[in-house]
């Protein structure tokens, strides 16, 4: 038994405020009932909603900035040297899996290590070194194959609260011997640049420790951080030990990142045939420098060969297309008597804005909006027009849509945007299939297998007392997350009967996404033919059309005196875009294939060539492009659902250990094994496949075994 440990005093945590729903402003106008019995071409319909208040930033009151380290004490083990390798050791073979060594309760680096691995789909084990003894059998299986292709230390010494190491001298010796014999790299996510338990050839500079700095790549460091542009990475809220290189016999140290004074913050080093990488800045999965470094750190650790992939996505869904929507009056903070509806000119401008985004940001050349449309607000008899038809068309929006339809992805949002939490089967089916028919008559290129219900209704986030009599009313019923088991079975059946496979869910609702797998979707527990694709909300609210309205709504929540005050002053629009693009950047970097959703109001051309939606898109992509060259993907909804479903099946197979791989490094041949039938497999580093960044990625199905050649970096 290992000695027990108290909660570590070195905890580094970043706690984001939970998402919550805030009621929309009260309206001075009477509620308007949506057209529930009309036909396409007879009514524009109305969409009503509620403001989803998204946490605007980190909870700074809970963020320590003094996760301090020091020279560690390593207790002497019972052995003087490493255990001998087993007689059958196959040192050229390692499983495609990573071992995370943790110091136990309160380990400030464990969340970072796990998050990094999950984002890329890399299988891993965690060993709590405060409780479990590390031995050669931990590292080498009975056949002599190495169990791990890489080792992550949550801190370089695996610090316990008293600054002793959770591993003793014998355990460190075993670890180092394994790394040398099996050519396994070691990554220390955060460490003190000293001599214990081993010397990296770095020394801390007295009085230089800080919690705010920046990290600049040194020449040649892009061999490790191949995706970074070279722009310094901002470091905030993270204790940092700037260092100098120290000449140490047998150690070759190569700096990777330095601070503004040229002091080292990250470096690789070699000793006795072992390769190590040490970062002297504390990490957390919600901090920008961690998110930006993670891809390069993991690719270095695995030599660019691993199960899974890290791919980045950016998609903006626009809900309620064709309908009229609530419209905020920023002076009275009530809803206007006249709802807002997009014009032909708005959409012609949006098409051009989208083209400008594609041209301005090479990393997002494939970006395009997805329009979640409600055909009950269209007029199928409106003539096609490629300029604003004015009064010559009964509905200019429909006329222009027929012209620009190929510029966007189109997703079924039901015909009339009715609330579907309590709805009979025939009505639910009619709402879905009639909208498909309208889309076909308009010539829209539909993501036919995908569906977004109004307010994500029908999925158990609802008023538990709802009796179904207000499905078509502008009533913001109080919602509770009752779980997916309270989904409306009629909606699920109607969706399946309409050939729908992928159903949008709300990432701000706990039951609508899988916390155990942050890049997975959710197979619906009540109907295996329905797969949920979580979508991110944001703080561009559903009833605002220009910056004045946007800031009035936002500041009514987060400014001093608001319903959930957070900032110390009312933000202006530029500050707002800066904060919101931070959140968008976070979602891109975490590798989840989840769209963001906005609303038709946010597409209004409030100034020539400008809309709230495109302002947010540009601000987010500007920030991303400043740091990274990795392309961001925008998929059609049907393709997105298929990608996410395959990824989820693969991740669940890895979690159950029914999918594994072994790398024979003499021949660079990877053997993939599935023990539970055919399963999707993604392999980064294959010699064949689709290029992404600096690596080739192969996607295939495996049943039993398959062999793939790889090209390590």
What confidence tens digit (pLDDT) does each residue in 9-23 have?
233 222 222 233 333
Q: Tell me, yes or no, whether 375 and 430 share the same domain.
A: yes
Q: Tell me, yes or no, whether 142 and 263 share the same domain.
A: yes
Helix (H, G, I), strand (E, B) or coil at 684: strand
Q: Which of 252, 280, 307 is the last residue of a domain?
A: 307
User: Would you state the structure tokens that stand for residue 223, as one six-digit string?
Assistant: 């061999």
Mean of pLDDT values over 366-388: 98
Q: b vs e for 507-534, b when ≥16 Cβ sit within 10 Å of the residue's Cβ?
A: bbbebbbbeebbbbbbbbeebeebbbbb
Q: Tell me, yes or no, whether 429 and 448 share the same domain.
A: yes
* pLDDT computed for residue 468 by the predictor: 84
Helices and strands, number each (H, E), in the chain: 12, 36
Q: Tell me, yes or no, whether 326 and 437 share the same domain.
A: yes
Residue 14 included in any domain: no
Q: Tell me, yes or no, whether 292 and 432 share the same domain.
A: no
Q: Tell me, yes or no, whether 432 and 498 share the same domain.
A: yes
d(CA 234, CA 213): 6
The tally of domains found in the chain comes to 3
Cβ(315)–Cβ(146) below 8 Å = no
Q: Tell me, yes or no, whether 617 and 662 share the same domain.
A: no
Q: Which of 249, 281, 307 is the last residue of a domain?
A: 307
Is pLDDT at 159 greater than 50 in this prediction? yes
Residue 242 included in any domain: yes
DSSP 17: P
Residue 539 included in any domain: yes
Cβ-based neighbours of 87, under 8 Å, separated by 6 or more? none
Q: Tell me, yes or no, whether 499 and 604 share the same domain.
A: yes
Q: Tell me, yes or no, whether 355 and 436 share the same domain.
A: yes
Cβ(382)–Cβ(393) below 8 Å = yes
Q: Tell me, yes or no, whether 290 and 333 share the same domain.
A: no
Tens of pLDDT, residue by residue over 659-696, are: 999 999 999 999 999 999 999 999 999 999 999 999 99
d(CA 403, CA 194): 66
Cβ(444)–Cβ(402) below 8 Å = no
List, in sequence order, every residue forming a beta bridge with 313; answer none if it has no partner: 633
Helix (H, G, I), strand (E, B) or coil at 617: helix
Residue 49 included in any domain: no
* pLDDT computed for residue 42 by the predictor: 33
In the chain the first and final C-alpha atoms are separated, in Å, by 39
Residue with tokens 């089916």: 429
Q: Tell me, yes or no, whether 584 and 699 share the same domain.
A: no
Residue 645 included in any domain: no
Tens of pLDDT, residue by residue over 193-227, are: 999 999 999 999 989 999 999 999 999 999 999 99
Q: Tell me, yes or no, whether 339 and 225 share the same domain.
A: no
d(CA 251, CA 248): 5
User: Would you state the structure tokens that stand for residue 399, as one six-digit string?
Assistant: 């006329």
Relative to beta strand 46-47, strand 185-188 is: unpaired
User: Would you state the structure tokens that stand for residue 243, as one six-digit string?
Assistant: 């260092």
Is pLDDT at 41 greater than 50 in this prediction? no
CATH number at residue 400: 3.20.20.370
Among 219-233, 402-416, 470-484, 641-655, the minimum mean pLDDT is found in 470-484
Q: Which of 279, 307, 335 is the last residue of a domain?
A: 307
CA 294 to chain centre: 13
CATH number at residue 157: 3.40.50.880
Tens of pLDDT, residue by residue over 483-497, are: 999 999 999 999 999
* pLDDT computed for residue 26 by the predictor: 32
Name the nearest CA neighbour of 220 among 169, 172, 173, 268: 268
d(CA 546, CA 404): 23
Domain, as residue range, for 470: 314-632
Residue 477 included in any domain: yes
Q: b vs e for 72-100, b when ≥16 Cβ sit within 10 Å of the residue's Cβ?
A: bebeebeeeebbebeeebbbebbbbbbbb
Tens of pLDDT, residue by residue over 80-128, are: 788 999 999 999 999 999 999 999 988 889 999 999 999 999 999 999 9
Name the nearest CA neighbour of 225 among 257, 192, 254: 257
Residue 472 included in any domain: yes
Residue 55 included in any domain: no
């Amino acid at each position: 038994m290992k000695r027990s440990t108290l909660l570590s005093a070195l905890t580094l945590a970043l706690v984001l405020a939970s998402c919550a729903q805030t009621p929309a402003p009260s309206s001075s106008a009477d509620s308007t009932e949506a057209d529930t019995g009309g036909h396409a071409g007879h009514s524009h319909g109305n969409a009503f909603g509620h403001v989803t208040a998204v946490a605007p930033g980190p909870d700074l009151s809970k963020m320590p900035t003094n996760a301090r380290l020091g020279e560690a004490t390593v207790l002497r083990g019972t052995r003087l040297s490493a255990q001998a390798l087993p007689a059958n050791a196959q040192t050229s073979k390692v499983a495609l899996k990573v071992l995370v060594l943790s110091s136990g309760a309160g380990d400030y680096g464990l969340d970072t290590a796990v998050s990094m691995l999950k984002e890329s789909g890399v299988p891993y084990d965690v060993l709590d070194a405060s409780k479990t003894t590390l031995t050669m059998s931990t590292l080498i299986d009975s056949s002599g194959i190495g169990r791990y292709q890489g080792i992550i230390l949550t801190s370089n010494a695996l610090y316990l609260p008293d600054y002793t190491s959770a591993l003793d001298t014998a355990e460190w010796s075993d670890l180092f011997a394994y790394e040398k014999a099996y050519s396994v790299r070691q990554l220390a996510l955060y460490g003190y640049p000293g001599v214990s338990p081993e010397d990296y050839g770095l020394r801390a500079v007295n009085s230089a420790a800080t919690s705010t700095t920046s990290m600049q790549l040194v020449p040649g460091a892009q061999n490790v951080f191949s995706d970074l542009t070279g722009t310094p990475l901002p470091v905030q809220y993270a204790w940092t030990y700037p260092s100098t290189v120290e000449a140490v016999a047998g150690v070759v140290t190569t700096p990777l990142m330095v601070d503004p004074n040229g002091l080292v913050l990250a470096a690789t080093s070699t000793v006795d045939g072992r390769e190590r990488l040490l970062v002297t800045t504390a990490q957390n999965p919600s901090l920008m420098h961690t998110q930006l470094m993670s891809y390069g750190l993991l690719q270095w650790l695995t030599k660019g060969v691993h199960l899974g992939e890290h791919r980045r996505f950016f998609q903006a869904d626009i809900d309620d297309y064709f309908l009229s929507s609530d419209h905020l009056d920023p002076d009275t903070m009530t809803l206007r008597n006249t709802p807002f509806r997009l014009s032909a000119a708005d959409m012609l401008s949006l098409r051009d804005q989208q083209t400008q985004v594609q041209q301005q940001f090479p990393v997002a050349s494939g970006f395009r909006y997805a329009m979640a449309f409600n055909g009950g607000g269209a007029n199928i008899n409106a003539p096609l027009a490629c300029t604003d038809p004015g009064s010559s068309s009964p509905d200019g929006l429909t006329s222009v849509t027929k012209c620009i339809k190929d510029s966007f992805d189109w997703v079924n949002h039901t015909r009339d945007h009715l609330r579907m939490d309590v709805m009979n089967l025939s009505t639910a089916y009619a709402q879905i299939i009639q909208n498909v028919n309208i889309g076909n008559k308009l010539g829209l290129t539909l993501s036919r297998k995908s569906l977004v219900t109004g307010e994500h209704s029908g999925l158990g986030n609802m008023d538990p007392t709802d009796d179904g009599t207000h499905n078509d009313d502008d009533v913001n019923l109080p919602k509770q997350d009752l779980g997916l088991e309270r989904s409306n079975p009629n909606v699920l059946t109607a969706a399946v009967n309409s050939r729908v496979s992928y159903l949008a869910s709300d990432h701000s609702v706990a039951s609508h996404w899988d916390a155990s797998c942050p890049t997975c979707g959710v197979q619906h527990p009540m109907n295996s033919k329905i797969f949920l694709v979580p979508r991110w909300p944001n703080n561009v609210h559903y009833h605002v059309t220009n910056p004045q309205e946007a800031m009035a709504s936002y500041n009514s929540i987060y400014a001093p005196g608001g319903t959930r005050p957070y900032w110390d002053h009312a933000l202006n629009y530029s500050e707002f875009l800066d904060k919101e693009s931070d959140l968008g950047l976070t979602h891109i970097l975490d590798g989840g294939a989840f769209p963001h959703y906005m609303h038709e109001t946010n597409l209004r051309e409030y100034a020539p060539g400008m809309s709230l939606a495109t302002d947010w898109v540009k601000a987010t992509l500007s920030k991303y492009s400043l740091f990274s060259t990795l392309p961001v993907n925008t998929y059609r909804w049907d393709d997105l659902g298929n990608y996410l479903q395959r990824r989820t099946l693969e991740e669940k197979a890895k979690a159950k250990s029914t999918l594994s791989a072994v790398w024979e490094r003499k021949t660079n041949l990877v053997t993939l094994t599935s023990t539970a039938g055919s399963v999707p497999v993604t392999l980064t580093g294959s010699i064949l496949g689709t290029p992404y960044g600096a690596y080739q990625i192969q996607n295939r199905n495996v049943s039993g075994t398959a062999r793939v050649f790889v090209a390590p970096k």
